[in-house]
Amino acid sequence: MNTLISAMALEYPADKLHVYLSDDGGSSVTFQAVKEAWKFLKWWIPFCRKYEVKTRCPVAYFSADESEDGNEKFSSSEFIAEKKKIEEKYDEFKCRILKIVENASSFTSRDHDPLIQVINDENCGVDSDKTEMPLLVYVSREKRPFHPHHFNAGALNVLLRVSGLISNSPYILVLDCDMYCNDPTSARQAMCFFLDPKISSKLGFVQFPQKFHNISENDIYDSQLRFFWPKLEGVDGLRGSMLVGTGFYIKREALYRTSNVQEDNDLVQLQKAFGPSYEFIKSLQENYKQNASKDEEFSGVSLKEIRFLASCGYDNSTKWGKEVGFRYFSVLEDYFTSFNLHCNGWISVYLDPARPCFLGSATTNLKEIIVQYTRWVAGLVEVAVSRFSTLIYGPLRMSTLQSMCFAESAYDFLIFLPVYCLAIVPQLCLLHGIHLYPKVSNPFFIVFSFLFLSSQLKHIQEVFSSGHSIRTWAIEQRIWMLRSLTCYMYGTLNGILEMIGLRAASFLPTDKAVNDEQSKLYQMGIYDFQASGLLLAPLCTLYILNLVVFVIGVTKIFHIQQASKMFIQLFIPLFGILINYPLFEGMFLRKDDGRVAPSITLLSAALCIIILPFGSLVLIY
């Protein structure tokens, strides 16, 4: 609920701010919690406005020292008294939420009718007052077990249609449930670009970076994605960045493609594009008047129409998900939608102010890191090997450089092939005395050394320039290897199997629930290897393989005096062993619950024993 509360408290005119909460599970807990949040907001919003509070997420506000903002009001006795009162109200709010959770079932329905409810004083059981409150609407779309619901894109398109009929605001903020508004002026900052006469007509969206409040000093999983955000700064000069799923303001017109919609358009053609709802088609006109305010309930006709817009079959045989709204083609709807918007001529802005406008909860355990990246890679594969390939579809509709930037993300998964080769082939050749690289005395040895050192030094320079240490370089190298050997491989397989129909498309949401034990390990900089054998087996197998080959290789090379010839092949496994030393600890040294399960270590050792003779046969024959 903190996400909802912080969004409702944005510094923007209340009559122009409309907040829609999407509850895909149709949970009664969420519905009741929204009503309780409304009651607390009647206290929270006036307090934030009166004292110009910047941190308007209550859980963050009450756990931090707001006095650092330098506001003299914070030292007054009146403020201290009101803050104490608000904190008491927040504690009461949390207690009511806990009671709702305790008394309700944890069951989440996948078979339910649509429910749309404007939250106001009347249905929350509170007395009306003069507090200006934004419109708040609870939306639970219809879900049926055997009907495709198109994951995030489907939920967002339902919100587009429902909000189009109720408030029809021209600009939309998309925010995940694990993020909150950290700067109440984000809407005003975005509007500075949307209203700029030089770019207003072609600006589709403003993207803010994802930043996180729970990143530890060590950040052993590279959860902050330090390497990614400089890329968005770079492509900002090539008609703008891509969407990253959350923390962006987008123009409704860009999603509708309504620039050519006029009152005299053929109704049949409009219904083919936007669906059969005549009321919704009327909302496409510039002079459309919103249907309900925060103090009103819907009429019987309009409520029926809104529920129709939230039905699971509304967008059948329409252009929703194809040319209208968020695109359905890939589970990575943010990447594919932004790619289409740029292909259609829209530009974007990447905005990274000094104070982060949005903060979220980063993934802080290995299992969820692998699951999250595997899902992303599967979505990228769906785009990369389709007719929408960024190397074919893109250059025909955007500049070559911009298309290359999209392609760099789409085809990044291919790196798992050379990484697997580098983790296996030189090692097997080392065992059999087959040298693949120039010996130390060969002039070409300098070339190989230069390529390796220059790439690593460039990486180190980028890490230092962003204010991080050599430890960050080592962590990023480690996590890059982990992603290449697990996420990229499994994501590629999942994406291909889904495209050829051998596997149903799936969307496993990242579990951001805080586990005390896992959180403690993360804060201490200790890896948590509590994951399935399927996820860890490739890592452990290749680590054991490289460890065995290195030990045997050192003994063998110095015995036959071929160190000069085999130096590079000896260095490759050594580099991997040292960078991934935490994996060695997890398999052989640690005894805590976060270690690699002994069964996985034994399985990996068995796989290593299979690879060694099989690889030898391949090399010999």
pLDDT per 10-residue tile (average), the chain, 621 residues = 94 94 90 93 93 92 67 76 92 92 73 89 65 92 88 94 93 94 95 95 95 90 89 90 94 80 71 91 73 57 88 92 93 94 95 94 89 93 93 90 93 94 93 88 92 96 92 95 95 90 66 72 91 92 96 83 84 95 95 92 94 81 66
Do 312 and 178 share a structural domain? yes
Left if phi > 0, otherwise alpha if psi is -120 to 50, otherwise beta: which for 567?
A: alpha
Query: Contact 522/364 with Cβ under 8 angstroms?
Result: yes
Give a yes or no: residue 370 inside a domain: no
DSSP 251: E
DSSP 344: T
Residues annotated within the binding site for UDP-alpha-D-glucose are 24
Give a yes or no: residue 387 inside a domain: no
Helix ranges restricted to H, 433-585: 444-465, 470-482, 488-499, 516-524, 533-560, 567-579, 581-584
Select from 362, 387, 421 the last residue of a domain: 362
Give a yes or no: residue 469 inside a domain: yes
Q: Which residue reads 């110095």 in tokens?
A: 558
Do 321 and 218 share a structural domain? yes
- Tell me the C-alpha distance between 58 and 407, whole Å: 41
pLDDT at 74: 73
Q: In 3D, which of 46, 23, 36 has the Cα closest to residue 123?
A: 36
Give a yes or no: residue 384 inside a domain: no
Do 104 and 22 share a structural domain? yes
Q: What is the pLDDT of residues 228-274, one digit of tens each?
A: 888 899 898 899 999 999 999 999 999 997 555 655 568 888 888 99
- Tell me the C-alpha distance between 566 and 562, whole Å: 6
| 555: number of Cβ within 10 Å | 10
Query: Contact 205/211 with Cβ under 8 angstroms?
Result: no
Would you please indicate which residues are annotated as catalytic (active-site) residues?
24, 334
Do 14 and 157 share a structural domain? yes
pLDDT at 506: 61
- Tell me the C-alpha distance between 297 and 121, whole Å: 11
Question: Encoding tokens for residue 559?
Answer: 């015995």
Give a yes or no: residue 201 inside a domain: yes
Do 413 and 354 share a structural domain? no
Do 544 and 455 share a structural domain? yes
Question: Encoding tokens for residue 192?
Answer: 């500075």
Give a yes or no: residue 369 inside a domain: no
How many domains does one find in the chain?
Answer: 2
pLDDT at 473: 95
Do 486 and 602 share a structural domain? yes
Strands across the sheet containing 135-140: 18-22, 135-140, 115-119
- Tell me the C-alpha distance between 117 and 31, whole Å: 9
Give a yes or no: residue 355 inside a domain: yes
Instruction: State pTM to two decimals.
Output: 0.91
Residues annotated within the binding site are 24
Q: What is the pLDDT of residues 376-427, one digit of tens each?
A: 999 999 999 999 999 999 888 999 999 999 999 999 999 999 999 999 999 9
Do 321 and 433 share a structural domain? no
Do 192 and 49 share a structural domain? yes
Fill in the amino acid letter for 589.
L
Do 405 and 342 share a structural domain? no
Domain that includes residue 565, residue range: 400-620
Give a yes or no: residue 509 inside a domain: yes
- Tell me the C-alpha distance between 293 and 296, whole Å: 5
Do 198 and 276 share a structural domain? yes
Select from 305, 334, 362 the last residue of a domain: 362
Select from 332, 362, 392 the last residue of a domain: 362
Do 507 and 419 share a structural domain? yes
